[in-house]
Amino acid sequence: MEKENQILREKIRNFIIESLPMVKKIVDIGSLPTLKRYYIQKKDGNVKIIPHNRPNWYQIRGLGKLKKLQSFQELDLAICSHRQLSSLDGKLLFAISSGCPFNVGEIPFEFLVQFIYRADSLKFNQKLFDNLFNDFVEYINLNNTFKTRVIVPLDNLLIAPKVVELDSNYRIRSLGDRERIRIINNNPILGSFYGTPFSLWFRCILEFDMSYQCSWTNSLEFENNGQDFCIPPRNIGNELHYRMTKINQEIVILRSILNLPISSPISVIDYHGWNADTFKIEPIIKLPWVRHQVYGQNRLSLREINKYKKIRKKFMEIKNRKTQQQIFVAMRKLAFSFDRAYGGDEIMERVSGLEGLLVNSKNEIGHQFAERIALLLASDPLERKDLSNDMKRAYRFRSLVAHGSIIADELDSIITDDTSQIDSKRIKDFNEIQRLRPKIRNSLHKAILICINDQTTEFDWDSAIMSAHWTPSHE
């Protein structure tokens, strides 16, 4: 550890040890509001997740009386002599618009608040202190950037490996009980959102690391500007927009490649260090990926995960930008179709995905649509004929829904008080729609994988029509 960091560490450590007894005198702990939190209880070889209420420590404020401590003066000197914190006049102000702004001269109080929040009690814990101090040292050494880790719970997915690295800053992680409890306790909104019992909580997450640009300013600039805190990060709005775009893009890829309705209705910023923004702007973001009422777990083996990584990598490496975007639009159609409550909307979404992927003509679209899907996905002539007929039916339903016609896509649309008035044709249409729903879904999924593997959406359809044995080059 560098000399400056070692001095700062000892001064802050002494400050914490001397401050905690005073906190108990200054603050009526029993009067603090509480948050539901959880911990693991082990007894006779059994593990239980136990909810309990503890004071909402991070709300402790107004500790100005602690300035009388002699250790504060020593700490102030240590801060002003630190290379990363000193400026021309020995003072620096640093702030982030959606994070944890502070004045360098008041770091001890911010540090104390963070220590209290993360502790399970007001007792000093050396390990907790070291973790928090290391976070702080990383924070002040970031050279005009700060980092956040976005947590996106996947509440119906289980994976065999502990971590699946997809990019340098993006991964899928399987959570153990202790890690899951830490995330829930550090982000209380998740505990409220997911509720109980514990078995319904997510066991897998997306993790997305990001860096933001930030601004430093000295006390002279601060006084001239007359601001309450210094200049906020540059282009923070663009960074937040990029973060949401990236999250949604990854969920589209995850859902469409796996062909599973992975549920991801929420995202939070995990408060892992000084450089996070859980309790400020945008602590929780609702996502358009609906949480289903049935909590079925989708278990993926190591082999399935490796296959997913291979396909995803191949998609990301498509060199033709237009082709990649065309495939991604079809992936979006499949991903969003899982959340459609009505069969007609579901079919319209998936047929639209297939149409955009394989048909580039304005003439005889329905005929080309059915013919090309049959040629691409089936090899046996009889199988191709059956698939073509099904695609024609699906395209007909798609057109009816798109133009506002009433179709029998759910039971409540055909059952009335007078059961004698039920139209047999509507019942037939209803049964047909239910039969086609999974077939269109699987057809779109297979077509997407073929286009990713072949790195194209352009196929030699004329040769396909002339040959009964034509197949694309996919594996």
pLDDT in tens, 2-50: 888 999 999 999 988 988 888 877 777 667 666 677 778 887 878 788 8
pLDDT, average across residues 410-428: 69
Q: Would you tell me the crossing angle of helices 107-118 and 70-80 to the nearest 10 degrees?
A: 110
Q: Could you tell me if residue 358 is left (phi over 0), alpha (psi between -120 and 50 degrees) or otherwise beta?
A: alpha
d(CA 418, CA 40): 56
Taking only the tens place, the pLDDT of each residue in 266-291 is 888 775 556 544 444 344 677 888 77
Taking only the tens place, the pLDDT of each residue in 137-149 is 877 765 666 667 8
d(CA 224, CA 221): 5
Give 3-state DSSP helix, strand, coil % of the chain, rounded to 5: 55, 15, 30
pLDDT, average across residues 304-311: 96
d(CA 167, CA 153): 18
Q: What percent of the chain has pLDDT over 90?
A: 32
Taking only the tens place, the pLDDT of each residue in 370-406 is 999 999 998 888 999 999 999 999 999 999 888 888 7
Question: What pLDDT score was predicted for residue 6?
Answer: 92
Cα distance between the two ends of the chain: 54
Q: Is pLDDT of 350 > 90? A: yes
DSSP string covering 415-443, please?
--S-GGG--HHHHHHHHHHHHHHHHHHHH
Residue 229 banded pLDDT, cuts 50, 70, 90: very low
Question: What pLDDT score was predicted for residue 273?
Answer: 59
Q: Spell out the alpha helix ranges (H) of 50-173.
A: 70-80, 107-118, 126-140
The closest of 21, 36, 217, 4 to 122, measured between CA atoms, is: 21
d(CA 283, CA 196): 21
d(CA 45, CA 239): 47
CA angle 385, 390, 394 (to 5 degrees): 145
Beta bridge partners of residue 171, listed in sequence order: 165, 207
d(CA 455, CA 14): 61
Helix/strand/coil for 391: helix
Q: Is pLDDT of 451 > 90? A: yes
* pTM higher than 0.85: no
Token match 């502070």: residue?
102
At residue 340, φ and ψ (nearest 5 deg) are -80, 125
pLDDT, average across residues 397-417: 77
Q: Which of 158-162, 220-224, 331-335, 455-459 has the lowest mean pLDDT?
A: 220-224
Residue 93 banded pLDDT, cuts 50, 70, 90: very low
d(CA 223, CA 220): 5
Question: What pLDDT score was predicted for residue 390?
Answer: 95
Question: What pLDDT score was predicted for residue 246?
Answer: 87
